[in-house]
Amino acid sequence: MGVLLELKDLTKAYDTYAVVDHLNLTINEGELRCLIGPNGAGKTTTMDLITGRQKLTGGKVIFDGREINGLKEHQIVRRGIGRKFQVPAVFRDLSVRENLEVAFNRTPNPFSNMLMFFNRTDKKRFDEIVELSGLGDRLDHKAGFLSHGETQWLEIGMVLTQNPRLLLMDEPTAGMTEQETLKTSEIFKRLKGAHTLVVVEHDMTFVREIAETISVLHLGKLLAEGPMHQVENDPKVREVYLGAEGISDAA
Amino acid sequence: MNGQSSNIYNDPKAQWFAYIVLFGVLALIPTFGTEPFQLRVFSSYAVYAMLAVSASMVWGFGGILSLGQGIPYGLAAYCMGATMQMQFQTPDDPIPSFMLTNELNELPSVWQPFWNTSVGLILALGVPTVVMVVFGFLMFQARLAGAFIAIMTLAMLNAFYSMAQDLQPFTAGFNGISPPNAFKAFGVEVDPYSSMLYWINLGVLALVTLGSKYMLQSKFGTLVRATRDDAERVRFLGYSVAYYQIVVFVFAGLIATLAGILWVMTQQYVSPTAFETPFSIYMVIWAAVGGRHSLFGAIVAAIVLNYLQTELADISDMWQKAWLLILGGIFIAVVLLLPRGLAGMFEYLMGFIKIGGRNSSSTRVSEN
């Protein structure tokens, strides 16, 4: 399996203070990578830099062999990078169905979309997403009326609808109940393999459940990388996460 | 298209039917033997209704609070005014009288193209469109939103107002241009007091309304509403938000442009009042009172509010002066009590009529 995403000396600095500091990271095709680290480690900023939401001050983002830094957000999305935000972002005034239909981006051209109506949507793919996100009986409800967990699943569904090659998920279980977290990890296990995922997460139970490789960030730098058992016994990681208690209790 | 909803208000078929009934009823007005003077008043209501549709599109659906819909409207009106003025002038008498009083001895070059009626009409459509494309591009590329859009459009509107006022030799300044004759095209004279003009105005209103409605039901329309909700999310679904905003801004501008052209055909008059701030704010108020998520509501509100204003002005001078206060009061009442306007109230009432007996409509949606 080839390399899908490569960050080379990625840097984001405000004046002299680097939020992301010469970060090197390689994500292989088909991998599920968890990005963890204490608050202020630069996890969300790293996602912002990959997706073009913030401009980097140094280094390179290479996606599928091509440099993508400098492209606009929507152009990066069209290259095949989907993103779920930390605070769930759905269209609250639109129905669940409309939310998913908007996410079906077959053409970005406004004039072609004037001639497009939803009954022609790709039914099979649509049903798959609805089944995966478990929102089948909610399709005609306004997204604003969904519960917090359902809103998160809807956004995950919307990102999946685009069929991106790389999925960036920023805290997909934030604010979820235990049951909801469990359902979310089921969704992620099904995505594994078919998609390449990078997941930022604080919930260690969830990380333990889904992760293959974990990258630990601290103060904008890569602190450690490897499978769960290796990372959680790493003394540097233990120190960063509340002294000797280790990351297992940090969540 | 939004699944089975129990509220008939949300049924697309019922919505189209309602529009057909509305325009059908309005089309019958001249057959009731309406006085020519009154008919012209109704013709101008059709123009106001177009402006309300324009405001509803750009603000209600697009979420772009433009207080500058008077820009395309006024520019089109001035181009149309110039075209009609030049239809009156002859090669022996080529200079409009207001220019002579401003000591112009020959026709200025910006007025030359208006000798030709077709060129004049093309300019009336083209000039506002180009201005809106450039202005929209500058604003939306810079990702302006919310109150900043309102401030920018308002400032631009006032710039045009000052120009119309101050370039007296070209625009007749404060007095404005009053072409002496009715508009003629293809050998037909469009008498402002005729049912023909009323039907032209109503026809264009129906065309832009149904065109807008069609667009709102397409994927483009859903995307425009999505942009209003969360522009960032739309961007991260791979769409260029600025592109969509420019298109809806220019489209709404085009509706206002058509309104400007028809206004001058109806009133044979154009002055800087077209660019006045209150007038552009009225358009937003009409859309808000009608329900900013309903084109139907915007049309009804524009007609009813203007009818009310005319009737009150007829009673006495005092009532005419009080109109601004009354309108302001209505606006405040709507914002506080009916945030979704008359259309929202209507939707609520229709919710009591169940079809199919399925669950409550309150959480189900279909706009427009």
- A89 to B228: CB separation less than 8 angstroms, yes or no: no
Q: What angle do CA B323, B199, B220 make, to 5 degrees?
A: 80
CB contact under 8 A, B236 and A51: yes
Distance from CA of B197 to the nearest CA of A (A): 31
Q: Which two tokens stand for residue A126?
A: 């649509």
**Residue of B232, B237, B243 with shortest CB distance to A158:** B237
Position B361 pLDDT exceeds 50: no
Which CATH number fits the domain that encloses residue A113?
3.40.50.300
pLDDT value at residue B358: 43
* Cα nearest neighbour of B226 on chain A: A91
pLDDT at B123: 96
Q: Which residues of A touch B247 (CB under 8 A)?
A: 110-111
Tell me if B159 sits within 8 A of B67, measured CB to CB.
no
Out of B222, B225, B238, the one facing A105 most closely (by C-beta) is B238
The residue ranking higher by pLDDT, B67 or A106, is B67
For residue B227, how many C-alpha atoms fall within 13 Å in the half-sphere facing its CB?
34
In the numeric block, which tokens belong to residue B339?
Answer: 């945030």
* A251 band by pLDDT with thresholds 50, 70 and 90: very low
Q: What residues does B185 pair with on adjacent strands?
A: B188
Q: Give me the pLDDT at residue B243, please.
A: 95
Mean pLDDT over A174-198 rounds to: 88
What's the pLDDT at A118? 66
Dig out the tokens for A133 from the structure: 């996100």
Taking only the tens place, the pLDDT of each residue in B56-75 is 999 999 999 999 999 999 99
Q: Looking at the predicted structure, is the pLDDT value of residue A80 above 80?
A: yes
Residue A76 to residue A47: CA distance in whole angstroms: 12
What pLDDT does residue A38 have? 86
A236 touches chain B (CB under 8 A): no
B362: confidence class by pLDDT, cuts 50, 70, 90: very low
The helix/strand/coil state of A15 is coil
For range A211-229, the mean pLDDT: 89
Q: pLDDT value at position B354? A: 59
- Per CB-CB distance under 8 Å, the chain A contacts of B2 are 95, 97-98, 140
Mean pLDDT of chain B: 89
Instruction: Read off the pLDDT band of B359 (50, 70, 90).
Output: very low
Q: Residue A121's pLDDT band (boundaries 50, 70, 90)?
A: low
Most B CBs within 10 Å: which of A102, A107, A117, as the mutation test of the B interface?
A102
Residue B10 has pLDDT above 90, yes or no: no
- The pLDDT of residue A1 is 62
Q: Mind giving me the DSSP string for B88-122?
A: H-BTTB-S-HHHHHTT--S--GGGGGGGSHHHHHH
Name which of B220, B226, B364 is nearest A114 (Cβ-Cβ): B220
Candidates B265, B93, B99, B257; CA nearest to B185 is B265
- A168-182 pLDDT, tens per residue? 999 888 888 889 898
- Which pLDDT does position B212 carry in this prediction? 95
Q: What pairing do the DSSP bridges indicate for beta strands A81-84 and A166-170?
A: parallel
> What residue of B is the nearest CA neighbor of A99?
B226
| Choice between A162 and B135, residue whose per-residue pLDDT is larger | B135
Rounded to whole angstroms, the Cα distance separating A94 from B225 reads 8
For residues B283-299, give the mean pLDDT: 92
Cβ atoms within 10 Å of A161's Cβ, excluding its own: 25
pLDDT of residue B290: 92
**What pLDDT is stored for residue B365 in this prediction?**
44
Distance from C-alpha of B308 to C-alpha of B326, rounded to nearest angstrom:
10
Question: What is the Cα gyration radius of chain A?
Answer: 19
- Whether chain B has a CB inside 8 Å of the CB on A73: the answer is yes
Q: How confident is the model at residue A210 (pLDDT cuts 50, 70, 90)?
A: confident
More confident residue, B26 or A240: B26
Residue A244 pLDDT exceeds 80: no
Considering CB atoms only, which of A77, A93, A110 is closest to B244?
A: A110
* Strand, coil or helix: A238: helix
Q: How far apart are the first and last CA of chain A?
A: 33
DSSP line for B138-178: HHHHTT--THHHHHHHHHHHHHHHHHHHH-HHHH-GGG-B-
The three-class DSSP label of residue B289 is: helix
pLDDT value, residue A39: 84
Contact A77 B240 (CB under 8 A): no
pLDDT at residue A120, rounded to an integer = 58
Mean pLDDT of B299-321: 90
pLDDT at B330 over 80: yes
> Under 8 Å CB-to-CB from B153, ≥6 apart: which residues?
B66, B67, B68, B71, B280
Domain count, chain A: 1
Question: Could B218 and A114 be called an inter-chain contact, meaning their C-beta atoms sit closer than 8 Å?
Answer: yes
Nearest residue in chain B measured CA to CA from A98: B222
Out of B2, B222, B247, the one facing A102 most closely (by C-beta) is B222
Average pLDDT over residues A27-41: 89
Q: Select the residue of A89, A98, A142 nearest B233 (Cβ to Cβ).
A: A89
Tell me what the mean pLDDT of segment A73-101 comes to: 91
Chain B CB contacts of A101 below 8 Å: 219, 222
Residue B2: pLDDT above 50? Answer: no
Give the pLDDT score at B177. 92
Sign, CA torsion A201/A202/A207/A212: positive
pLDDT top residue among A239 and B209: B209
Q: Do A73 and B228 touch (CB under 8 A)?
A: no
> What local confidence, expressed as pLDDT, does residue A246 receive?
52
**Which two three-digit tokens encode residue B59?**
């603000």
Domain that holds residue A197: 3-42+51-249
